[in-house]
Amino acid sequence: MGLSSALNAAMSGLSLTKAQLVVTSQNIANANVDGYTLKTIVGTEVYNSTGSTSSVLTNQVTRQVNTQLQSSYWESLSDFSFATQYNDYIERLDQMFGVVGDASSIPSLMNDFTNALTALATDPSSQSTQEVAVSAAVELTNVINNSAEEVQELRRDSDASIADEVSKVNSLLQEIESLEDSIVAERSAGRSTVHLEDQLDVQLHALTEKMDVEISVGDDGLLGITTPTGLTLYDGRASELKFTASPTLGVGVEGNPIELVSPSGSVMTLSQYDLQSGSIGALVELRDTTLPETQARLDELASQMALALSQQVSEGVAADDGGVPPAATGMSVDTSNLMSSGDTIELEFEVNGELRKVSFVAVTDASLLPLSSDVTADSDDIVHGIVIPATTASLESQISSALGTGFDVSVDASGELSILTPTSSGTIEITGLIAKNTRTVTAEDGSEIPLFMDSKDGGIPYTGALEDGGQEEGFAQRMVINLAVLNDPSLLVGGGDDPSSERVSLLKDRLTQTEFIFSPSSGIGAKNSPYVGTISDFAIETVAKQSQIASAAATAELNSGTVTSIAQVAYENSYKVDVDEELVKLTELQNAYAANARVLTAIDEIYDTLFSIA
């Protein structure tokens, strides 16, 4: 090798070593900076015409990032962010509901109320015992009211938080666009972009916490970000999320969707499949599913509790056509008290040994027909609506039309409904007929009493009416104690001068002994297997269900946190700076620098000698 070749090799080696010293020093200095990745710089050997190494070319600085580990970590981070955000709200909800044994919990207050009714049944003439029973009912009502209002407050809070998170996502997308523009400019100028790429990763990391996104890098090195369904969030230019919070978001009111506006102005709506992870996904899940279901549980409890105490049940009796022997038999029931929307007639019959059920539900608005099968909690019945008020002829016609041939339907002037079928073998056999109506007055006659009222429109009886979106929806907030009972607690024992335990005993039994079918929309029971139990049982289930949800949410956060922690360690180990290794490398580079410098010194001395000879 000639002196010029040796000089060229030493100079290029010195230049590479100098660059490596700078990079290694920066690695050590930034080892504890979040988002900083290990940087390296290597040289490429350059060969002369004879095939010998003539110099070394210093390449660009590169980052040491394992993109597979990065992708895995970001995916788990999105799941963990969802679980954390979700559990934060569920913990608040769980604290509000408490546990079954808490003195202030709904089951405990329900137990206090039924105990007060038991005491009143023992001594119905005691004014103080009457007042204690009413106070217990008031306290139970207040807790149900407050719990339902807290659910709606959490729903409004989650809606407002969606707006905040959407704003943050838009800021992140704008920052990503700005950083990639800078990266492209620096690449075009032949300069290193590793520091900008670190900053870009920090923004992408934050984005994955907010949303479930797919991140890709094209062959041209440019970034692409889409939602799971393929909607483009970023492709050289940032799209924008649009969302308007609803400060007055109430029961039954759907929250606004999140829309995606592309740079060209086209608007698309994010679906539930785009929001299955990330903090935004959790907030949408809470607002649209979890909290409405919690509200539905409270509404179902309040609704069934109100109806249990006020609903009169008329059992059908055997009936026939009067022939000897009768050609048609069945049952009859008094329907004269069916005057409120929500009142029902329930028919059971067998066809070739198979049980069938039909429920007729009264409505005052014919536009609601036909009714959904979900109007009743019983999954086995067929639901038909009947429009009231109705003449006997109209009621007869509506029921007959719904049942079709094979049934002989009649309603007499007193409101007695008879449903008969032929007695010939192999035909239909009527096995049950019940009429249920809600008692709307507190008169002394009758055992049922509308103790729990609907505060809407200044105070109305609760009948489970289906008009105006349904009376049950939001009833947990509107449920109040009947003002007449507040003013005169003796109404619990029949009022007047001759108090009796008959009414109060019925109220207690309706709460603790009578079983009801509860709607699966509450999240308790299933559509094809609804929960059946007493009001007291359902109160316990309401709190127990919340405890189950809280336990599941806490477990999900713990599990996803463990997975994310493992993924984070693996990812960070792929790029984190090991200061000890870098210090060793720094020493080696200093020695290499010194070696190259000595070569230059030796060449310089040789040239000096040669020049002196000349």
* pLDDT (tens digit per residue) in 206-262: 999 999 999 998 888 889 999 999 999 999 999 999 999 998 898 989 999 999 999
- Give residue 191's pLDDT band: very low, low, confident or very high (50, 70, 90): confident
Report the chain's mean pLDDT, rounded to a whole number: 88
Please say which residue of 486, 519, 547 terminates a domain: 486
**pLDDT value at 604 more than 70:** no
Provide the domain limits for residue 351. Answer: 313-486
In order of 128, 135, 139, 452, 459, the CA distances from 481 in angstroms are 18, 10, 10, 5, 10
- Give residue 33's pLDDT band: very low, low, confident or very high (50, 70, 90): confident
Provide the pLDDT for residue 106: 95
CB 81, CB 168: distance < 8 Å? no
Please say which residue of 456, 486, 516 terminates a domain: 486
pTM above 0.95, yes or no: no
**pLDDT value at 123 more than 90:** yes
Same-domain status, 455 and 604 = no
Same-domain status, 348 and 481 = yes
Same-domain status, 365 and 480 = yes
pLDDT: which is higher, 58 or 258:
258
Same-domain status, 325 and 468 = yes
Q: Give the tens place of pLDDT for each residue, 307-344.
A: 999 999 999 999 999 998 999 999 999 999 999 999 99
CB 498, CB 264: distance < 8 Å? no
**pLDDT value at 2 more than 60:** no
Answer yes or no: is 452 within a domain.
Answer: yes
What would the DSSP string read from start to end of 22-89?
A: HHHHHHHHTTTSTT---EE--EEEEE-TTS-EEEEEE---EE---HHHHHHHHHHHHHHHHHHHHHHH
Answer yes or no: is 177 within a domain.
Answer: no
Judging by DSSP bridges, how do beta strands 259-261 and 267-269 pair with one another?
Answer: antiparallel
- Give residue 192's pLDDT band: very low, low, confident or very high (50, 70, 90): confident
Answer yes or no: is 472 within a domain.
Answer: yes
Answer yes or no: is 572 within a domain.
Answer: no
- Give residue 111's pLDDT band: very low, low, confident or very high (50, 70, 90): very high
Q: Comparing C-alpha atoms, which of 144, 162, 511 is closest to residue 310?
A: 511
What would the DSSP string read from start to end of 423-449?
A: -STTSEEEEEEEEEEE-----SSSS--
Answer yes or no: is 420 within a domain.
Answer: yes
- Give residue 112's pLDDT band: very low, low, confident or very high (50, 70, 90): very high
Answer yes or no: is 164 within a domain.
Answer: no
Average pLDDT over residues 162-171: 97
Please say which residue of 447, 470, 486 terminates a domain: 486
Same-domain status, 479 and 596 = no
Answer yes or no: is 228 within a domain.
Answer: no
Query: What count of residues does the chain have?
Result: 614
What would the DSSP string read from start to end of 459-501?
A: -EE-----STT-SSTTHHHHEEE-HHHHH-GGGGGT-TTS--H
Answer yes or no: is 34 within a domain.
Answer: yes
What is the domain count for the chain?
2
Provide the pLDDT for residue 379: 87
Identify the DSSP state of 286: I
